[in-house]
Structure 1
Amino acid sequence: MSLSYERLADSSNEDEEEVNVMHLRNVLSHRRFDKDGGNDGEVTFTVEDAVEHIGFGKFQIFLTLIMGTFSFSDACEMMLLAVLSPVLRCHWQLSSFQVACITTVVFVGMLIGSPVFGTASDRFGRRPILILVAVWICYYGYMTALSPTFFWLLFLRFLVGFGIGGAPQGFTALSEFLPSKQRAKLLGSFQVFWALGTCFEVFMAYLIIPSLGWRYLVGISAVPLTISLLSFLNTSFASMNESMVEHYVPESVRYNIAAGKQEKALETLEKIARTNGIQMPPGELVKSKEVPRGKIQDLFTSDYLRTTLQLWYLWFSAAFGYYGLVLISSEILEFDSVCGAMEKWNQDSLSEDVCYCQLLTKSDYLTLIFTTLGELLAIPINMILPDVIGRTRLLCLYFVVSAIGNGLILVCSTRLVLTITVFAVRACTSGIFNIVYLYTVEVYPTTVRALGLGSGSAIARVGAMITPFVAQVLLTYSIRSAMILYAGVCLLASILSITLPIETKGRSIQEFERQSFTSESKKLQICIYPYMGERGVSAMFTYGHTIHCIG
């Protein structure tokens, strides 16, 4: 195969030329070559080509709304842990350690369930696993409301956590139908669903717990996911042919291709194209070139060792700080602990061998709702600042503000000052998650990207499993020690953020390995990015010098 290029501009360095590789993707992906390098002339396209061609439209909007209910429901189940703790402490006369176990068992279940459902979705498809996850969480969520004892509650919440471990498959399924230009923006929309879910849960607690009790709240918390499940089973759309009805959550096209169901994959793409009012690209659908999977040891090569270790701590800190603040918010409101009341309650309970408890008031619930709205503040910040000041600087800023905020919580002040402080820290801890996720996706190459995300997510769950014993156990003995610990974790994370060896601002995600073409003594190296535009790919043409890719 011959590769031609045209000169775009003169370079000031005679050793370098800028070249435009005309329609490189068409040459490499849209033409089928025989084993001898000849072109048989048949036009082909891959799933990725079809998704980019079809673009973002009606189908993706409805799919986003349906999958967003998964994120909304996850937030309800997680925020339930915070608003439920004060009630259960009184209902069953629980110790602080027992209250912390209620939260920890959920994350243990998530840690175990995530790889189980991830493997199952690769083997049996996204759609059936998502339905199973929705049924699982709904069933054990409703059963939790009927828990006769504390230990039954622990067991059932563990099973709920196991199901929540499979919920991220919803975002995976959505991302497979999104063009690359919209993929990052939709991550922000999922943060909206999460923030709304947490606010909804606190508002329901405000309405239900004082009048009906905690069991009704637990049951109602499973309703949003029940609605999502019904959407999976019943929601349908009419295509251009009004007699043609199809679900808005079809099976993954990539899964069908990998499973050898090419006709089913093509049928799904055609229905999506008709829904969006777009014509399918010409040619035959073919399987994408497989990229070799990396191994866990690839994360520890000389190029990525430092990045991996620092990122793991940032994932840990993100979960440790976020879920810690969620739990601390209800604890400090329950006991007014910033002014020393919690330590007094704990000392009295130890000396008199009784368990003290205090339910949240309606004003406490309103404070929780307001502080939870801080998560919405992080959304516009994450849409603007990462491309202005960079990922590492924004992470550092978030962690520094979180450390200062955790320290200010120690100050015995008015309810207004406390609310504003928690609001600001809630915004920062929420924003950290998205930036850490974005950075992880951008910094690793395709072959180890999934490993980087998976390992980071596992480390985050470890942080989430540990934080209840700080926010709900250590806090009762010494709020000073607990808040200093949270502030210290954030300060160290700020240092590790700003010292990350790679800043990914403006750095495109490479979907393929660099490819080399040799023509006599000249070597052309090309970096292929997911979005190439009409004019093909720009690259720097060098003679044995370092390659400089132009996005």
Structure 2
Amino acid sequence: MGKERNAGEILGKANCLRGCVSGLDFMDDTVTDYEQALLHTGFGKFHYNLLALCGLIYMNTAIGVTIISFVLPVATCDFQMTSSDKGWLTASPMLGMLVGSYFWGCLADTKGRKKVLIATLLGDALCGLISSFSQHFLFFLLIRLLNGFNVAGAMGICFPYLGEFQPTKYREKILCWMEMFWTIGIIVLPLIAWGIIPLDIQFDSKDFTFHSWNLFVAVCALPSLFLGLWLFAFPESPKFLLEVGEPEKALSVLRHMYEKNTGEPQDNFPFTSLVGGKILPTDSVSVRRLKLRRPKELRLLIGEIWTQTKTLCTKPFLRTTILTCLIQFGLTSSYYTLMVWFPELFQRFADFEELNPGAPTSVCDVSSVYTVNRTTIEPDFGAECDSTLQQGVYRNTVIIGLACIPTSFWLPLCVHRLGIKFFLVFGLIAAAAVTIGLYFVQNAMQNLVLSCIFEALTSLSISTVYCVMVDLFPTNLRVMAAALSMTFGRGGALLGNLLFGFLIDFNCVIPIVLFAFMLAVSGLLCILLPSTGNEALA
């Protein structure tokens, strides 16, 4: 009995010692979790620079998505485009975005946010410059498809990349300020177009032509190049690094943030180790190190992507995944279609009112009259073809952008009081009512007023959806979830632009009613989304 008691005491002491040793990490003041370490980096210069970078990237995506709206009317003669051709041209970037959303999202959740952002920005710049020299409609359409492919990546990744550097108490408000940069993009684009397209640039030879709109496309490609190069100066997301099993690199980034924000040397950062993140076996290879050119590792990468995709489509994420995909489909199909077509509609109103001063007409009526008036010039697009853009089109598009400024301030200043779901539901339901109102306008001024309200409400909703996505999904699924929902959204935009291009001249009531219905349904679905904004970043 004495030997058994002594053995029991020894075993008990051994277990106590083992428990004490294993608990050392939790008693060590230099070991902490990600959220606490992030709070100790402070909030200052680094975060403001990062917001400026990500905001400019988001502004640049606004330019990339809407640039076609000014190409449509001014390149009509060069490419001999009909309304259906214009529908295909506006749809081509959406098709690229449909494919690119999930492709880049998968890479960003496996290879890293920074690498993929740089690749998409530089790819967008290259495609934009190539498209500016295009001499054939089909080639231009193909290159703009590739532009959309790259823009989708930048748009879907800049929000998670920015959000993963933010402490919980600042994250939602910082993300909401991104809406202001989108608004700036909407304002800047028509100003660039106004400054370049009216220029008398006419270089015509037997095999090559270059006009002012070509220069406009080239200039709009340059910001992507500069932003892609600037991004090299910023680190990878520390939350992502911790998630893929690289806590030392994550800690190095946090120390860098601490130095930039506080001015103190990195050695003064109080923590030397992070807990949490993905626990990888010692013989496991991080997916960040897998090479696409190696077949075996490519299969491992595809397997990881497939595993994460299945995770999104099973509980507890299935319901949220379905909701976000449906909301994106309804919102994006309406927003990107009407936004791209607004300059074309303004041009048609201006042409009609120039020929019929004071005569009332609706959006649908002016389009049908436009069809009758152009039938004599469409077959040969000869000397009578006029692709000059009315000055009022630039002015009206700038006004639309300026109309978004109040909602851009309203969102970040009131998001904590009203809740982010309020902005989604209110914005989408009100936008649906405004869309119906477009059918009843009687002149260009009424059309402009409703267009301003529509743009302000829907652009607010687009940015808010991206903010919500950061909180709804954990780090390893965040970009992929956003990409999946964006894929559905771009599919809706593709269908919307094709439908609008084919029906605007013949029966525009159908797309107007359909877009209003989808916006209303999206608004109602937002009520079912989980509440966000108070939890630590997973």
State if a TM-score over 0.5 links the two structures. yes
What pairs with 1:206-355 in structure 2 (closer than 5 Å)? Answer: 206-211=194-199, 212=201, 213-233=212-232, 247=233, 249-257=234-242, 263-277=248-262, 280-290=268-278, 296=310, 299=313, 301=315, 308-336=321-349, 338=363, 340-347=365-372, 349=374, 354=379
Which structure 1 segments of 5+ residues have no match? 1-32, 234-246, 513-551
Q: Flag structure 2 segments of 5+ consecutive residues without an equivalent.
A: 1-16, 202-211, 281-306, 350-361
The secondary structure found in structure 2 opposite 1:373 is helix
Give 2:409's aligned residue: 380
In 2: Cα distance, 1:267 partner to 1:367 partner: 49
Contact 1:445 1:510 in 2 (8 A): no
2:164 to 172, 176, 182: 176
The CA deviation string for residues 144-202 of structure 1, in whole angstroms up to 9 with x for no partner, is: 11002111101211221222132133333333322222221221222111111121111
**Post-superposition shift, 1:491?**
3.0
Structure 2 counterpart of 1:155: 142
Provide closer, same or farther for how the CA distance between residues 453 and 230 of structure 1 changes in structure 2, counting only shifts above 3 A: closer
CA distance in 1, matches of 2:46, 2:483: 28
Residues 511 and 408 of structure 1, relative CA distance in 2, 3 Å threshold: closer
Q: 1:490 to 1:130 in 2, by over 3 A?
A: closer
1:360/1:471 Cα in 2 relative to 1: closer, same or farther (>3 Å)? farther
Q: Structure 1 pair 385/329, CA: closer, same or farther in 2 (3 Å)?
A: same
Alignment CA distance shift 1:316-1:206 (3 Å): same
CA distance in 2, matches of 1:195, 1:263: 38
Report if the CA contact (8 A) 2:105-2:482 is conserved: no
1:126 & 1:384 partners in 2: Cα distance? Answer: 28
**What are the within-5 Å matches in structure 2 for residues 86-235 of structure 1?**
86-167=73-154, 168-211=156-199, 212=201, 213-233=212-232
Query: 2: distance between equivalents of 1:352 and 1:205?
Result: 26
1:135–1:495 CA distance, 2 compared to 1 (3 A) = closer
- AA partner of residue 491 (structure 2): V
Between structures 1 and 2, the one with greater strand share: 1
Deviation at 1:448, TM superposition (A): 6.3
How high is the TM-score relative to the length of structure 2? 0.76
Q: Distance in 2 between matches of 1:456 and 1:390?
A: 22
Deviations 1:104-151 (A, max 9, x none): 221222232233333444554443433322221111111111002111
Q: How far is the alpha carbon of 1:422 from its aligned partner?
A: 0.9
Superposed counterparts of 1:54-69, under 5 Å: 54-69=41-56
Q: CA RMSD in A?
A: 3.2
Q: Does 1:400 align with 2:429?
A: yes
What's the CA shift string for 1:194-216, capped at 9, x where partnerless?
Answer: 11112111111112112142101
2:23 equivalent in structure 1:
39
In 2, Cα distance between equivalents of 1:308 and 1:268: 31
Spell out, residue by residue over 1:430-476, the C-alpha distance to the aligned partner (whole angstroms, 9 max, x if none): 11223333445555677866564333222111112122123333112
Distance of aligned partners of 1:121 and 1:454 in 2 relative to their CA distance in 1, 3 Å threshold: closer
Tell me, in whole angstroms, the C-alpha distance in 2 between the residues paired with 1:330 and 1:122: 37
Whole-angstrom CA distance in 1 between matches of 2:478 and 2:119 = 27
1:391–1:503 CA contact under 8 A, matched in 2: no
Corresponding residue SS for 2:276: coil
Q: Secondary structure of the residue that 1:290 maps to in structure 2? A: coil
CA positional deviation for 1:511: 5.2
* Higher normalized contact order (CA 8 Å, seq sep 6+, divided by chain length): 2
Question: What's the CA shift for 1:222?
Answer: 1.3
The answer (yes or no) to whether the contact 1:103–1:468 under 8 Å persists in 2 is yes
CA contact 1:296–1:451 (8 Å) conserved in 2: no
Residue equivalent to 2:491: 462
Q: Percent identity?
A: 23
User: TM-score, normalising length from structure 1?
Assistant: 0.75
In the alignment, the residues of structure 1 paired with residue 112 and residue 523 of structure 2 have an alpha-carbon distance, to the nearest angstrom, of 40
1:326 is displaced (CA, Å) by 0.6
- Identify, as 1 or 2, the structure richer in helix: 2
**For the Cα contact (< 8 Å) 1:404–1:487, is it kept in 2?**
yes
- Give per-residue Cα distances to partners, 1:35-65, cap 9 Å, x unaligned: 7884224441244432221121111111221
Which residue of structure 2 lines up, in the alignment, with residue 508 of structure 1? Answer: 534
SS at match of 1:282: coil
Q: Find the residue that maps to 2:504 and give its secondary structure.
A: helix
Distance 1:251 1:327, change over 3 A: closer
